[in-house]
Structure 1
């Protein structure tokens, strides 16, 4: 059934676009995603990083999450490092079964939150469990079962990691395709379909789309916006739109800001028009069910794991954040205070904008997600993957040029991260700068790139917000990125 749905979706989409444009889209999709996979693929074991830059090879999928939990607990000397085990693992029996080759069924596979710490939301945890469990079971059953701890490292590096990465990439490719299809559907409504090509050529897309799971949230958010527009003529689609945005929140928390803005607008409309109530309730129900159930399951079954998940995010340092030039201690609680204060002020301002047209919907979604990202004390570079599709829908041409500059600066963050010492050594010939590896501090070229990105995005955010609030003051109805009213969307 799933294969039939995919075939039907792609056939219908391909038949709706011109042959010349279709070639451009396919070529750029394959080139962009193919290059992303090539630079990140962790095979063969010990593969030298592309261009001798670990920032190109690095992914959270392998080096950020898998290696610390599943590889590092076994030392290169073939012994179990209980210090590293205790850093991540709750269930000693689970890790011992794994490293000693005593894994015979899916029921024995280690479970995120229950058996070990996991810092990502529930839907990411589901794909993670699938890929790690399948990789270990397939390797141990059909390729090789380690007979000792030293052999365990070799087996994991040679087989388990590549299989795990391949499964994760398959999931990310599927959601990249969904992002492409539904972003094109929305752009075509505004006669700006050529903007889709920009998504594939932006350097952050190439570098980060198979780096983390943000494209899953991006796809679910874009699909939700499309169905929200369609829900003017179908209440069932309002329910589905809410479900999809709820799933985006269960993948990455930040789309919650979009949910707040849309829900507020729907509730406002219920007071003005009786017929809007059904749509509002269905959307709200779908949103609540699909976002609350995944988190609720974790709370009910893995209380300690959920507490550590929350603690991880609430105590994280200022990662490439906007406030570093003001408060240079990256662990200062002031960063978190500034985020909650400014993000609250921003979302309250955004709520003043009425979602009366498709253009207004895109603008509100962009402003809400931008507020969640720009003002955050954690602005990981892969978050741009969530923001870019909404930016392509919402921003005027002039702002897109500034956005592209921000995207380039964002890509430079990881490109320079592991080269920080070398860059400092070169720059020290011309200016006084400490020569050390410290990409988190303000004197690092990495943070210079982050500052440029943050500044450009802040300028775009303030410009769009100012334009919208000014139009409210004038009583104007023309949004940034003009589009016709939502109620006429179906006829378009």
Structure 2
């Protein structure tokens, strides 16, 4: 069996495992006649789109701003809700276009919100798309590791992590992974315009990809590479019709991104002590670090431009005020390449395992506090607030964060200065 076939099978197995553990009880009952997983993993897309938007259309859901379209959706009519116009959500355009497509397909098949069949349609459509992009990401990343002459275990096992199982079907994060690794591949083969185009288009799924895009734009301005900006600007077109149709809604989304959204990042430790001022300080430091990294990126080391992009992206992720567990879908494959020692790889898998625990623990915070008091002799307040530093959930989160930033700094030192992998010029 060839290496590419092994990579395909590993990605498929990861996707199917994720499909099983996230499967809603209604879907499981239809497909298998019973519930396969007693407590399915939380699925952010399914919860926020199917339950909080689609099903809530029949209950006057708070996300809807066009009452007429909301009523048509509830009645099962074939209508395509327009993001930011008919409903509001703090997500980028392509993410919401897929949400609208899911609602349209469910109604077009004759299923109404809240029915078991509608649940099945939503989950199958989401799972199919995320698994296909996971497989595509694995194959493209494999091609990238071949170009950079990575060892065989790096080529085969870059996506073999618990977090990929836990979060491959979660919030369209495999789409983000696809755009990121595709950008890396094209940068490694010196097709910089394609690399920038993919990051621009990917920002419509996850706006974070504008950060590595900023690095490429800066390097172009400094003469380190060349980009044709016409296709890159076309990659940003998903934002344009919504900006024209409802500028206020899209601007509200962009404002939301820079407000207090310290989701499980290191910033929580600072903001919990100093309040909003601490969050503002962290954001200021984050922007200063990004600017410094741009300056450093002007002089790439032995790892080449793709090594600089990996380093920049890793640091931008780990220092971001918002570091939700699905972020490691992007982080662990990038970290796995430069880390070579048994100690570092052991720490990487330990970090990833802690990250996998976050969502199962998240909804059991009060229970965890109760048992921590009982068995550890603590005196924690027993209530649900997993963002609080006195929560066992945050203990796991911050342990993950400390290990993660340690590993990122090690990886960056190896990618940006000594040569780890070289571009194959043949």
Give your verdict on TM over 0.5: yes
Of 395, 402, 409, the match for 1:448: 395
**Structure 1 residue 381, shift from structure 2 partner:** 0.8
TM-aligned CA distance change 1:371 to 1:298, over 3 Å: farther
Secondary structure at the aligned position of 1:300 is classed as helix
Q: Is this contact kept in 2: 1:339–1:375, CA < 8 A?
A: no
Bigger drift between 331-340 and 375-384 goes to 331-340
Provide TM-score, normalisation by structure 2: 0.88
Provide TM-score, normalisation by structure 1: 0.77
Of 21, 33, 53, the match for 2:15: 33
**Structure 1 residue 73, shift from structure 2 partner:** 4.8
Tell me, which stretches of 5 or more residues in structure 1 are unaligned?
Answer: 1-18, 75-79, 141-151, 232-236, 271-275, 472-477
Bigger drift between 354-363 and 178-187 goes to 354-363
TM-aligned CA distance change 1:377 to 1:27, over 3 Å: same
Q: Is this contact kept in 2: 1:424–1:445, CA < 8 A?
A: yes
**Structure 1 residue 49, shift from structure 2 partner:** 7.7
TM-aligned CA distance change 1:404 to 1:28, over 3 Å: same
Equivalence map 1:37-76=2 (5 Å): 37-44=19-26, 52-53=38-39, 56-74=40-58
TM-aligned CA distance change 1:331 to 1:52, over 3 Å: farther
CA radius of gyration, larger in? 1
Distance 2:27 2:189 in 1: 48
Secondary structure at the aligned position of 1:439 is classed as coil
TM-aligned CA distance change 1:238 to 1:393, over 3 Å: same
Q: Is this contact kept in 2: 1:362–1:390, CA < 8 A?
A: no
**Is residue 121 of structure 1 aligned with residue 92 of structure 2?**
yes
Secondary structure at the aligned position of 2:331 is classed as helix
Distance 1:191 1:281 in 2: 27
In the alignment of these two chains, the number of paired residues is: 418
Partner of 1:130: 101
Distance 2:24 2:136 in 1: 25
Secondary structure at the aligned position of 1:243 is classed as helix
Distance 1:389 1:288 in 2: 28
Distance 1:404 1:255 in 2: 25
Q: Is this contact kept in 1: 2:133–2:175, CA < 8 A?
A: yes
Bigger drift between 251-260 and 339-348 goes to 339-348
Distance 1:201 1:450 in 2: 21
**Is residue 388 of structure 1 aligned with residue 342 of structure 2?**
no
**Is residue 221 of structure 1 aligned with residue 203 of structure 2?**
no
Q: Is this contact kept in 2: 1:357–1:483, CA < 8 A?
A: no
**Structure 1 residue 261, shift from structure 2 partner:** 2.0
**Structure 1 residue 415, shift from structure 2 partner:** 1.7
Distance 2:336 2:306 in 1: 9
Secondary structure at the aligned position of 2:208 is classed as coil
Equivalence map 1:133-144=2 (5 Å): 133-140=104-111
Equivalence map 1:92-171=2 (5 Å): 92-101=67-76, 103-104=77-78, 108-140=79-111, 156-171=114-129
